[in-house]
A and B are shown apart, each in its own frame.
Chain A
Amino acid sequence: MGRYVARRLLQMIPVFIGSTLLIFCMMYALPGDPVRAMMGDQAYDPTVVASIKKELGLDQPLLQQYANYMAGLFQGDFGTQIASQRPIADVIADAFPVTIRLTLFAFTFVTLVGIGLGVVAGLRPDTLQDRGLLTLTLFLVSMPSFVLGFLLQYQFAFKWQVTTPTVTDSTDFSQLALPAIVLASLSLAYVARLTRTSIAENLRSDYMRTAVAKGLPRRRVIGVHLMRNSLIPVVTFLGIEIGSLMTGAIVTEGIFNVRGIGLEIYEALTRREGATVVGIASLMVLIYLAASLIVDLLYAVLDPRIRYA
């Protein structure tokens, strides 16, 4: 298993280089020049544009720029933003904790509530509570997040005034609750449905009958025998979802004024801040890679028959 982990970690290196190069090329291929765009609608001086580009090395060929960027990255230098002239590392350090807090909040919510609902429904398929859950999740899946966002914001912040309409302090978890729930709602529906189906299916399997026949207490039958087997697809889904929660928060972050990574990358993209986009995207790649590794390792915890060679 140790060798397996080491190998997986080594595999991350080419994936990382490949994906950053790809993003770098895409940014390069986009029309629109970041330095020119900074000058805006009004009059400007082309001499200054040329001079800034030269200073930033943006007049060099693509591969040279990429080599420079990677060389900097390995020395821990993410580069400098073109317009603000701030180190990109600072920009990321400002936005990342906010997104992490939001994501963790949403993720915890998804895991606890999603699996909980799924178990409750799955244990008694085709009853009233099961149907109720199916309807609720269908509702959540089909509702675009901006609709849900505005709706909850209106109800909770304006009508009932239990929370602020926008997040002014991202360390305050009571303010983060609403955006986190909106962010979580879609995954919540998937997780609940996955768990429900998986549990309902495994309820009828042979080993369940054996466990019951052995006279094990119900708590152990469900908690260990049933849950462990049923959670494999759910864990797979949750692992990938961590990444999507972090990047997919642009709409939610916009509605609730959360200054996170989603908005940062969107802003950088429209301003053609290539280095910022690549920097954030590289981090996301790493998170996806790490999450998928953790998921793969979790399989063994859940099902001891799975081994790593």
Chain B
Amino acid sequence: MRGAKSAKWVAGAIVVALAATACGGNGDGEGESKGSGPAGYVSIDVGEPQKPLIPADTNESNGSYVIQSLFTQLLDFDAKGNVVYTNAESVTTDDSKTWTVKLKKGWKFHNGEEVTSKSYIDAWNWYANIKNNQQNSFWFQDIKGYDDVHPEKGDPKAETMSGLKAVDDHTFTIELKYTMPYFNYKLGYTTWAPLPKVFYDDPKAFGQKPVGNGPYKFEKWDHKKLIQVKAWDEYQGPNKAKNKGVQFKAYTTLEAAYKDVVSGNLDMIRQVGPTDLPKYKQDLGDGAIEQPYAAIQTLTPAFYSKTFKDIDPKVLQGLSMAIDRDTITKTVLNNTRTPAKSFTPPGVKGNQNLDTDVFTYNPEKAKKLIQEGGGVPGNKFTIQYNTDGGHKEWVTAVCGSIRKATGVDCAGDPKPDFATDLEARDNDQVKGMYRGGWVADYPVNANFMKELYHTTAEANNGKFSNKEIDGLMDKADKAKSLDESVKAFQEVEKKLVDHMPAIPLWYYRINGGHGKNVDNVNVDFHGDLEVWAVTTK
């Protein structure tokens, strides 16, 4: 029969096709656990880290959650932003330039190796070396000798930074290029974690299976599904794990994670999606979390653009007063933000109430200020944002508010995704303003000014430049003590109102939650849930 003969060929073709596409359905051993994991473990919706788990190569939130559980750096901060010593006994200085670090004795890595001065110095030298392409290498730029290991072009001239010297096994000194009264605060960033010797044998393998000195020990990483860490009994820091372990579970959407929290398959969620916000307090009851953290959103004018070149700051003040922050945060943003009152968010040292009405909605004064300043060129401007991050709604609302209050036409300038948005910012192609955002790296007000509005600051994408402000910031950096520096930056902040390098919009708030199986879920200063303190019921 003709048909039967053809059927043989069809079967043959299927075999060929399957072989060609290599989809023979190999039984990949997916031993995923159901429910919320082994007894005593807590689970949280932390997705797949972008990069291998090396402390200096991670600055996105998923990766840093895992890094923070596996590694402990010299010091950390409490919810108020005060220093809490973890691996360090003390970090002191007399002149804000040379810092002495004393380590606590008896600390070990998970493989039993002792944590010594060398563990830190060797790690920092490796992180800073340009050959190793570490994303956060610039964090070490204040240290003397950084330019030798990280030249702008070509190969490094040295393997080590001359500013790092070991005094003994548990004491070392850091010499900076210049004075920096808040340098110890920078040390609280996860990037400054030490590394064990085994790291240098094979950094690549280490990144998939890290050995740290933190409260948790690495167990397994099922890519895109789950990272599991186990509480480490010998940990001696103040943030010793109160649960038996953590599962960082990757979810594809906030909604999916939220459903699992409600149905008990997941213990904690970091952020509730917009669709579930109106009802999450009802669903989760006591488990609902709503707390501010040290992050701010701004509208940043591109000072090189046609619209905002040589603009009179009065116009920017006027635009700022034309934005009805109260209504927008309440309605469009579902109460997930708090209207901004200054350039620094609460929770950082030196946050103050600026004595100004520039951040208050006042249509009449807004109109007047814009007129006095000579108006917005062309009477219209654009706000650039990325459409993949849920910004469209508030940009539209802000524009509506400005249009209604002042008659200045304002439109969104959407970019399809974050990558495109960033490229336009980096290449100075922003046509009007762009949406800026900043989360505290360390809880000091300088972090929200020096890194954003200093002429030479890397993140100064609006290209704001003012000699007087630069001078004041440089002076504040030379202050003798942290308090003086913070005060000096407070003066800078007052001056910023006159120049308006950006229009602060609102501070972020975390709207997360946890299920009935866990307790003691707190939020730290940069908005992360403190996983180590969570207890199971």
Contacts and interface: CB of A to CB of B under 8 A. Distances in A.
Contacts of A291: 17
Interface stretch (A61-69, A128-136, A282-290): A282-290
A290 B21 CA distance: 9
A165 interface: yes
A94 interface: yes
Interface stretch (A37-45, A182-190, A215-223): A37-45
A48 B135 contact: yes
Task: Give the bracket for the number of chain B residues in contact with chain A.
Answer: 35 or more
B56 to A, nearest CB: 10
A32 interface: yes
B10 A301 contact: yes
A257 B251 CA distance: 6
A217 B1 CA distance: 21
B252 A263 contact: yes
Contacts of B133: 48, 51-52, 55
Contacts of B256: 165-166, 254-257
Contacts of A244: none
A97 B28 contact: yes
The A interface is mostly helix, strand or loop, or mixed, namely: helix
Contact of B253 (A36, A254, A283): A254
Interface string A93-106: 11111001100000
A283 B21 CA distance: 6
Contacts of B498: none
Contact of B51 (A38, A48, A95): A38
A8 to B, nearest CB: 8
B224 interface: yes
A84 B6 contact: no
B6 A166 contact: no
Interface string B33-55: 01000000000000011111000
Contact of A34 (B13, B250, B255, B419): B419
A120 interface: no
Interface residues of A, number: 72
A42 B438 contact: yes
B259 interface: yes
B378 interface: no
B517 to A, nearest CB: 16
A207 B244 CA distance: 73
A91 B137 CA distance: 28
Contacts of B265: 164-166, 168
B26 interface: yes
A169 B23 contact: no
A196 interface: no
A249 B509 CA distance: 33
A137 interface: no
A47 interface: yes
Nearest to B424: A31
Contacts of B32: 168-170
B14 interface: yes
A241 interface: no
A48 B207 CA distance: 18
A15 B61 CA distance: 41
Interface stretch (A18-26, A107-115, A197-205, A292-300): A292-300
Contacts of A153: 259
Contacts of B17: 286-287, 290-291, 293-294
B197 interface: no
Contacts of A84: 48-52, 223
Given A45-B137, A297-B10, A40 B59 contact: yes
B422 interface: yes
Interface string A248-273: 00000111111100011000001110
A43 B20 CA distance: 45
B263 A164 contact: yes
A217 B466 CA distance: 94
B284 interface: no
A43 B30 contact: no
A83 interface: yes
Given A85-B51, A286-B21, 6 more contacts: A38-B50, A39-B59, A290-B13, A290-B17, A298-B10, A301-B6
